[in-house]
Structure 1
Amino acid sequence: MFDKILIANRGEIACRVIKSAQKMGIKTVAVYSDADKHALHVSMADEAVHIGPPPANQSYIVIDKIMDAIKQTGAQAVHPGYGFLSENPKFAEALEAAGVAFIGPPKGAIEAMGDKITSKKIAQEAGVNTVPGYMGLIEDAEEAVKISNEIGYPVMIKASAGGGGKGMRIAWNDEECREGFQSSKNEAASSFGDDRIFIEKFVTQPRHIEIQVLCDAHGNGLWLNERECSIQRRNQKVVEEAPSPFLDAETRKAMGEQSVALAKAVGYTSAGTVEFIVDGDKNFYFLEMNTRLQVEHPVTELITGIDLVEQMIRIANGEPLSITQDDVKINGWAIENRLYAEDPYRGFLPSIGRLTRYRPPEEGELHGGIVRNDTGVYEGGEISMYYDPMIAKLCTWAETREQAIEVMRNALDSFEVEGIGHNLPFVAAVMDHERFTSGNITTAFIAEEYPEGFEGVTLPEDKLRQLAAACAAMNRVAEIRRTRISGTLDNHERKVGDHWNVALQGTHFDVTVAAEKGAAAVTFADGQVVHVKGDWTPGHSLAHMTVDGAPLVLKVGKISGGFRIRSRGADLKVHVRTPRQAELARQMPEKQAPDTSKMLLCPMPGLIVTMNVAEGDEVQEGQALCSVEAMKMENILRAERKGVVSKINAGPGDSLAVDDVIMEFE
């Protein structure tokens, strides 16, 4: 077995690989850029090597710098993680020439499957079902339009060397095809250094289901069941689960066998994933093969008990698989939520900054299930503009899907993140959405259910009553503490009242709070009595409560006259007042937000790439005004209404912060 391996990556995946290596008694080497000097993966590794400036094209994806780090440390093998150099055949070739093991597939398999055009042709020859499309190279936008009309809209425009949702656009007409073709080429060129584009039919009502395969160098290959990855935003996966709530045993077996056949057709070794699009009738079509470890691999590990990173290391060491297809079972259900530094209230635009608070739920058993959190950050660390916005992957396991979802709900409510915008409220909302809980999901779920974007969660009355009861009980604890402190100063203790008004989400509840043994009884005006227990102490940011025996986890912040409560995707100001205070509060005028309707504000920290208009230009609704690049994604900003540009405050190359004014209108 190897004595030392180098991880040619960063963030949570580097930390994940280090954990398995440590379990196997293998020493690890981290590499890091200037921006990652104090990163978690650097502190976890046995040694670390600096490889350059923050931009990935000057550090993490420079093969010569990784090779130098290998020479400096004497590493015998390299795990590439995902992204960066993980699917670069030149990197695999350089390692082979240096006599260093690549913990991944052979160069030939990477080349064959890494190119989406070539991989589709090979899949067809191997008897794998494929989506109709045009596999040749496309020269310009007009040719793309012609091809799209022949295939029939809608079509998917894809970067041949793409991945991670970059360089992909859906076009429903000629105009969207022209624009999407150019944007895809631009993203592909900047992200992969390869701007080749191909087009295929976009399958409506699709589900994204993938098969995990594992092959050794001795001719053995097996499939480790499937993962459902249909909850996506802009083709980027957000929620994954294993197994799929949609597949039956027959379809699963057919997909698995085709996946292994494809892997063997290209001489594949190591862990890999074959991705399919599946329609409502369970017809499945090959999309691509990812010749690396997938971001969502933990859910497969949780239902099979197989450590994929360990298996990759053993295969790279020349060992045969120690398991057979008959050994692969489905044990329970696992769900993964990706925590991104993306602000759902701003259209999921990237957010950067310092993590002033980062407290994940404790890993291990929780409410009858298991919690796992793969992360690469820590409290006080910084989310950089140079890399992917993923912060962590929160995973839960339980015996059934329903139980796994419930464990996930409580784990999400227990996850504290402050200092940056993040998507925790959104994924919490998905976990409660009827379409998700029923398993009736497609890749269009987010677009269909949140067509105007995510504006928070509106809780039903039964949930509001639970929160109102909990906050009334918490307020009683806070009032008792406050009166005791002031009572010490005044040499007497003031009595805490029993009658309160709880206002949240535009709803008012008149309640009476009475003490019980180790709990509080909250009586509503209609006679309903709710029993609340909890461990909350004033000043603590997390409250673990039970309301009539049901667990309730609240993130708690203090505001004047009440609390800021975050739970189940909702972010609420909860005011707990005496009846007289509540009466007076209703007379107060609401504060008006400033008028920014005649300004184009930068929605995220980023770099102006193009400016499409000039001062004095008349613009139409939907017209492209400029594009901003952030975290490797190009975002086009459009006019919300007809108007005339009166002033432009920024130009190409300018770096802007959130809400900087890009331009103004008459």
Structure 2
Amino acid sequence: MFKKILIANRGEIACRVIKTARRMGISTVAVYSDADRNAMHVEMADEAVHIGPSAAAQSYLVAEKIIEACRQTGAEAVHPGYGFLSERASFCEDLEKQGIIFIGPKPKAIRAMGDKIESKKFANAAKVSTVPGFLGEIENAEHAEKIAGEIGYPVMIKASAGGGGKGMRIAWSRDEVRDGFERARSEAKSSFGDDRVFIEKFVVNPRHIEIQVLADAHGNCIYLGERECSIQRRNQKVVEEAPSPFLDEKTRRAMGEQAVALAKAVEYQSAGTVEFIVDANKNFYFLEMNTRLQVEHPVTELITGVDLVEQMIHIAAGEKLTLKQGDVKLNGWAVESRLYAEDPYRNFLPSIGRLTRYRPPAEGRHGDIIIRNDTGVSEGSEISMFYDPMIAKLCTWAPSRKEAIDAMSDALDNFVVDGIEHNIPFLASLMQHPRWRDGRLSTGFIAEEYPDGFATIEPSARDRKVFAAIATVVELLRRDRLDRLTGRLAPHSGVLKPDWVVKLGDAYIPVSIGEGMVSIPMEIDLSIDGDAALTVASDWRPGEPVWRGSVGDHEVSAQIRPMDNVVRIAWKGMSVTASTMLPRTAELDRLMPAKVAPDTSKLLLCPMPGLVVSIAVIVGQEVKAGETLAVVEAMKMENVLRADRDLVVETINAKPGDSLAVDAVIMEFA
């Protein structure tokens, strides 16, 4: 067994590998760029080596720097994590030349399966069911249009060396092929250094289901069930679960056996994932094989009890698999939510900055529930524009799917992240979505259910009572604390007055106080909107970011953020601004004029911090609705900014290569 390994990656996956290596008694070496100098994986590792500037192309993607770090530290093996160099066959070969073990498959398998075009050809030769498509080299946009017409719309344009949704576009018509082809090539070139793309038939309403395999150097190969990865946005997975709520045992076995056959055909060694798309009739088609550890591997570990990183290390050390196919049992249900630094209310645009507060729910077993949080950040960490915007992977396990989803819902309500925008509100809302809870999924789920983007959910009448109850007790405690701090002998602030009004958005909800005292812990009876009194109980203290307690017979965990004269309350994906006031104050408040938002209809604002890739118009140009105005790159993704109506360009304030802040004015219209 190895004495020391180097992790050629960063963030949560580097931390994940370090945890297993430490448990196995193996020393670890981290590598880091300028931006990651104070990163968690650097602190966790036994040693750390600086490998260059912040840009991945000058640090994490430079194989020579990784090899030099191995020489400096005496690392015997390299675990690549995922992304970066994990599927680069030449990197594996370079390590072998230096006598360093690559903790992953051999170059042959990486080349056969890592290139999407070659993997399709190989799968066809191995009689694996594949999606119809064109696997040759596409010369230009005109050639792409011809191929798409022959295959039949819709088609998927994909980067050959791609992954993570980058370099991928769906085209529903000839007009969309040209732009999709150019964008896919551009993203592929900048992300992977390889601008080759291929085109295949896009299966409408497919499910994305993948099979985890393990194979050693002695011919042994097994599959560890499946993962459902159908909840995707822009072809990027958002929520995964294991097992799939769709598969039956017969289909699971057929997919697993086909995945194993493919792995054996390429003499695969290590952990790998064979991805399929599955139609409504449970017909499945090979999509690709990821010759590395997958981001979503924790859900498989939770339902099988198998540490995939540990297995990869044993296999790389030349050991035989100790597991047989009959040993693999699927136990319970696991759900993973990917927490991203992005604003769900602004079409999920990336967000960067410092985590002023980061407090995930407690990991471990809690009764019949297990909570796991794979992360590479801590309070005070900075989310950089240079890398993927993932903050953490929150996982829950329970005996059943419903229990696992409910546990995830509660865990998200308890997950505190401040300082940046994040997608927790969206994830929390998703956990309540009837279609998700019923398991009626497809890769188009988010686009279909949120066609106009994600917006704050309007609370039901019952939910408004919960918000009003929380707002009331929060305000009572705030006033009581103020009285104590100012040394008042009598509470002139009105704490003991029985009648209050809670303003939620534009609604005014009357609240009457019954039995109880203003104290910590608090237990008090409230009559809300004239209904029968219900008991509100909590040990929450002012300043705590999460209010935990009960409102009637509902157990509630809600995020609390005080603002100017109001409090922001977030719960189950809903978010309200609440103000608790005396009845007379409420009367006067109703007379206050509404604040009008400024008119930005004649401005093109940069929707996220990013780099201007191109400006597609000139001053004086007449632009039609839907035409491209500019392209901005952020966190390795190119975002096309289009005109929402016919207009004329009056001034252009940015040029290619400019780094812009959010809401910077790119251009103005007449």
> What interval of TM-score do these two structures reach, taking the shorter chain for normalisation?
over 0.9
1:471 is displaced (CA, Å) by 2.1
Paired position in structure 2 for 1:598:
602
Paired position in structure 2 for 1:625:
629
CA distance in 1, matches of 2:245, 2:524: 40
CA distance in 2, matches of 1:496, 1:479: 10
Secondary structure (helix, strand or coil) at the match of 1:377 reads coil
Cα offsets for 1:598-634 (capped at 9, x unmatched): 0000001111111111111111111101111111111
Which residue type is aligned with residue 317 of structure 1? A
Paired position in structure 1 for 2:6:
6
CA distance in 2, matches of 1:366, 1:522: 31
CA distance in 2, matches of 1:640, 1:137: 35
1:550 aligns with 2:554: yes
Which residue type is aligned with residue 212 of structure 1? Q
Secondary structure (helix, strand or coil) at the match of 2:330 reads coil
Match of 2:666 among 650, 662, 665: 662
Paired position in structure 1 for 2:374:
374
Greater alpha carbon shift after TM alignment, 408-417 vs 563-572:
563-572
CA distance in 2, matches of 1:152, 1:299: 36
CA distance in 2, matches of 1:245, 1:491: 57
CA distance in 1, matches of 2:332, 2:139: 49
Paired position in structure 2 for 1:538:
542
Secondary structure (helix, strand or coil) at the match of 1:91 reads helix
CA distance in 2, matches of 1:19, 1:300: 17
Contact kept, 8 Å, 1:532 with 1:548, in 2: the verdict is yes
Relative to structure 1, the CA distance from residue 642 to residue 263 in structure 2 (aligned partners, 3 Å threshold; closer, same or farther) is same
Paired position in structure 2 for 1:509:
509
Which residue type is aligned with residue 165 of structure 2? G
Relative to structure 1, the CA distance from residue 527 to residue 179 in structure 2 (aligned partners, 3 Å threshold; closer, same or farther) is same
Paired position in structure 1 for 2:67:
67
Which residue type is aligned with residue 457 of structure 2? V
1:577 is displaced (CA, Å) by 1.3
Runs (5+) with no aligned partner, structure 2: none
Contact kept, 8 Å, 1:483 with 1:496, in 2: the verdict is no
Paired position in structure 1 for 2:532:
528
Paired position in structure 2 for 1:48:
48
Paired position in structure 1 for 2:399:
399
Paired position in structure 1 for 2:101:
101
CA distance in 1, matches of 2:163, 2:344: 22
Work out the percentage of aligned pairs sharing the same amino acid: 62
1:657 is displaced (CA, Å) by 0.4
Contact kept, 8 Å, 1:352 with 1:382, in 2: the verdict is yes
Where does 1:88-127 land on structure 2 (aligned, <5 Å)? Answer: 88-127=88-127
CA distance in 2, matches of 1:657, 1:482: 39
Secondary structure (helix, strand or coil) at the match of 1:622 reads coil
CA distance in 2, matches of 1:397, 1:158: 34
Paired position in structure 1 for 2:251:
251
Paired position in structure 2 for 1:453:
453
Contact kept, 8 Å, 1:472 with 1:513, in 2: the verdict is no
Contact kept, 8 Å, 1:475 with 1:562, in 2: the verdict is no
Paired position in structure 1 for 2:168:
168
CA distance in 2, matches of 1:560, 1:651: 38
Which residue type is aligned with residue 307 of structure 2? D
CA distance in 2, matches of 1:534, 1:55: 47
Paired position in structure 2 for 1:149:
149
CA distance in 1, matches of 2:418, 2:239: 22
Match of 2:574 among 570, 574, 598: 570
1:493 is displaced (CA, Å) by 9.3
Relative to structure 1, the CA distance from residue 179 to residue 492 in structure 2 (aligned partners, 3 Å threshold; closer, same or farther) is closer
Contact kept, 8 Å, 1:209 with 1:230, in 2: the verdict is yes
CA distance in 2, matches of 1:631, 1:493: 49
Where does 1:234-383 land on structure 2 (aligned, <5 Å)? Answer: 234-366=234-366, 368-383=368-383
CA distance in 1, matches of 2:332, 2:611: 45
1:483 is displaced (CA, Å) by 3.0
Paired position in structure 2 for 1:584:
588
Contact kept, 8 Å, 2:128 with 2:262, in 1: the verdict is yes
Greater alpha carbon shift after TM alignment, 638-647 vs 66-75:
638-647
1:489 is displaced (CA, Å) by 6.5
1:482 is displaced (CA, Å) by 2.6
1:563 is displaced (CA, Å) by 1.5
Greater alpha carbon shift after TM alignment, 394-403 vs 490-499:
490-499
Contact kept, 8 Å, 2:511 with 2:530, in 1: the verdict is no
Greater alpha carbon shift after TM alignment, 457-466 vs 316-325:
457-466
CA distance in 2, matches of 1:367, 1:617: 64
Relative to structure 1, the CA distance from residue 413 to residue 27 in structure 2 (aligned partners, 3 Å threshold; closer, same or farther) is same
1:138 aligns with 2:138: yes
Runs (5+) with no aligned partner, structure 1: none
Paired position in structure 2 for 1:647:
651
Which residue type is aligned with residue 55 of structure 1? A
CA distance in 1, matches of 2:461, 2:88: 53
Cα offsets for 1:65-108 (capped at 9, x unmatched): 00000000000110000000000000100111111111000110
Contact kept, 8 Å, 1:166 with 1:633, in 2: the verdict is yes
Secondary structure (helix, strand or coil) at the match of 2:488 reads helix
CA distance in 2, matches of 1:178, 1:491: 71
Cα offsets for 1:466-486 (capped at 9, x unmatched): 221222223222233233334
CA distance in 1, matches of 2:507, 2:405: 28
1:124 is displaced (CA, Å) by 2.0
Contact kept, 8 Å, 1:473 with 1:522, in 2: the verdict is no
1:198 aligns with 2:198: yes
Paired position in structure 1 for 2:390:
390
Paired position in structure 2 for 1:417:
417
Secondary structure (helix, strand or coil) at the match of 2:25 reads coil
Contact kept, 8 Å, 1:473 with 1:513, in 2: the verdict is no
Greater alpha carbon shift after TM alignment, 401-410 vs 497-506:
497-506
Match of 1:613 among 594, 617, 625: 617
Secondary structure (helix, strand or coil) at the match of 1:488 reads coil
1:645 is displaced (CA, Å) by 0.7
CA distance in 1, matches of 2:491, 2:549: 33
RMSD: 1.4
Relative to structure 1, the CA distance from residue 489 to residue 193 in structure 2 (aligned partners, 3 Å threshold; closer, same or farther) is same
Cα offsets for 1:408-442 (capped at 9, x unmatched): 11110111111111111111111111110111111
Which residue type is aligned with residue 343 of structure 1? D
Which residue type is aligned with residue 447 of structure 1? A
TM-score (norm 1): 0.98
Which residue type is aligned with residue 591 of structure 2? Q
Which residue type is aligned with residue 530 of structure 1? L
Contact kept, 8 Å, 1:469 with 1:530, in 2: the verdict is no
CA distance in 1, matches of 2:527, 2:347: 40
Secondary structure (helix, strand or coil) at the match of 1:663 reads strand
Secondary structure (helix, strand or coil) at the match of 2:431 reads helix
Secondary structure (helix, strand or coil) at the match of 1:432 reads coil
TM-score (norm 2): 0.97
Which residue type is aligned with residue 600 of structure 1? L
Contact kept, 8 Å, 1:487 with 1:493, in 2: the verdict is no
Which residue type is aligned with residue 244 of structure 2? S
Greater alpha carbon shift after TM alignment, 16-25 vs 361-370:
361-370
